Amino acid sequence: MLGIALNYITWDVNPEIISDPIPVRYYGLCFVMGFILGYPVVKKIFVREGVKEELLDKLLLYSMIATIVGARLGHVLFYGPYHTADGTGYFDDPISILKVNEGGLASHGGVIGLIIAMILYSRYASKKHVLWGLDRLSIGGALAAGFIRIGNLFNSEIAGKITDSSLGWYFPRYVSPEGSQYQGVSDADLALKFAHESGINPADAHVLRYPTQIYESLAYLTIFGILLLLYWKRDAGRYLGRITGWFLVMLFTVRVLVEFIKENQDAMDANSVLNKGQLLSLPFIAIGLVLIWYSYRKDSKLVFEAEMPPGEKPESAAEFSQKDTGKSKK
């Protein structure tokens, strides 16, 4: 827990790739890489379905803006800090809300932002059912989520609880959040404090924590692989809401489970059975289950544009499918 260990990983990486003239962080690089690598994956889906590439470019634009704005506002509103003694809270210094490159994005806010963006994308760009856009976006979204957690690792943030397990890592740059008993104290200082109190060599002191950023990243990348299999091997892309439903259920179930070994982000979570992150995840899991149920209950399945006869290009592939199969309910 707090002490001496013979074998453990020390993660003491400078979060900045370069400092001058403009600071560039690994976090920002990981964020961008998630979208860059997700683009060809979704492009292949669009090609298969015969959807114009210009709609993919618009999807990328909508999703990037929605992710940044939604996730940042989600972090600010859900987690804060709102006001601090030194005047560094988000409401004390509103300009700090714009410092996205320093980290501080909430997945719940990001998903809400993406849902709103896909409603707008459906209405003004694709002219397809909103779930069509969400289903395709969810696949790339799982990949991006995995890279964002790697960015959190480079920022030495969102780490796990202190542990004496051999799985623990030492994060000297990690600063305990508001919800921790060591609020505002770095693990490097905490280790020195322990060394002073115990009379041991400061060089041998450490604070080990679960590297939850790694756990979540690997889980989200696994979800990305599962969603790809659902689309390409199970043809889940033809059933509105099925991919989005599984995405929400799997991603937020992982979030709920990992939160049990993650350091609380809010002081109000100290005496709660479920913390704020877990409580915020439960509605998304419920929505995901409803979408999965809906996707199996619906009579018709999508016919992709690439499979339509020449000249048959209705506004919604779902409408074409229903009209073609004659299974739509009256």
Of 97-101, 204-208, 224-228, 286-290, which range is least confident? Answer: 97-101
CA pair distance 195, 192, nearest whole angstrom: 5
**Run of H or E including 150:** helix 130-154
- Residues 121-146 have a mean pLDDT of 96
Expressed in angstroms, the distance from the first to the final Cα of the chain is 63
Distances from the Cα of 244 to the Cαs of 37, 40, 187, in angstroms? 19, 19, 38
Domain boundaries, the chain: 10-234
Distances from the Cα of 224 to the Cαs of 37, 84, 136, 142, in angstroms? 12, 38, 12, 5
* Whole-number pLDDT of residue 79: 80
- pLDDT grade for 157, boundaries at 50, 70 and 90: very high
* Whole-number pLDDT of residue 102: 62
Residue 245 has pLDDT above 90, yes or no: yes
* Whole-number pLDDT of residue 197: 84
Pairwise pLDDT comparison (149 vs 326), residue with the higher score: 149
Q: Which two tokens stand for residue 279?
A: 């409580």
Residue 324 has pLDDT above 60, yes or no: no
Angle between helices 276-297 and 242-259 (to 10 degrees): 160
Residue 14 has pLDDT above 80, yes or no: yes
Q: Which two tokens stand for residue 96?
A: 């700090």
Mean pLDDT of the chain: 87
For 199: left if phi > 0, alpha if psi spans -120 to 50, otherwise beta; the answer is left
- Residues 158-179 have a mean pLDDT of 91
pTM: 0.88
* Whole-number pLDDT of residue 194: 84
**DSSP β-ladder status, 2-3 and 24-25:** unpaired
CA pair distance 193, 102, nearest whole angstrom: 27
**DSSP β-ladder status, 169-170 and 24-25:** unpaired
- pLDDT grade for 152, boundaries at 50, 70 and 90: very high
* Whole-number pLDDT of residue 300: 64
Write the DSSP assignment of 220-255 as a string of letters: HHHHHHHHHHHHHTS-GGGSTTHHHHHHHHHHHHHH
Task: Extract the runs of DSSP E, i.e. beta strands, from 38-104.
Answer: none
- Residues 211-237 have a mean pLDDT of 97
CA pair distance 111, 209, nearest whole angstrom: 28
Residue 231 has pLDDT above 50, yes or no: yes
Residue 327 has pLDDT above 60, yes or no: no
- Residues 16-32 have a mean pLDDT of 91
CA pair distance 73, 176, nearest whole angstrom: 21
Distances from the Cα of 265 to the Cαs of 85, 104, 207, in angstroms? 18, 11, 18
| 259-295 pLDDT tens trace | 999 998 776 777 788 998 999 999 999 999 999 999 9
Please provide residue 294's backbone torsions phi and psi, each rounded to the nearest 5 degrees: -60, -40
- pLDDT grade for 233, boundaries at 50, 70 and 90: very high
Pairwise pLDDT comparison (49 vs 326), residue with the higher score: 49
| 51-67 pLDDT tens trace | 999 999 999 999 999 99
* Whole-number pLDDT of residue 279: 95
- pLDDT grade for 249, boundaries at 50, 70 and 90: very high
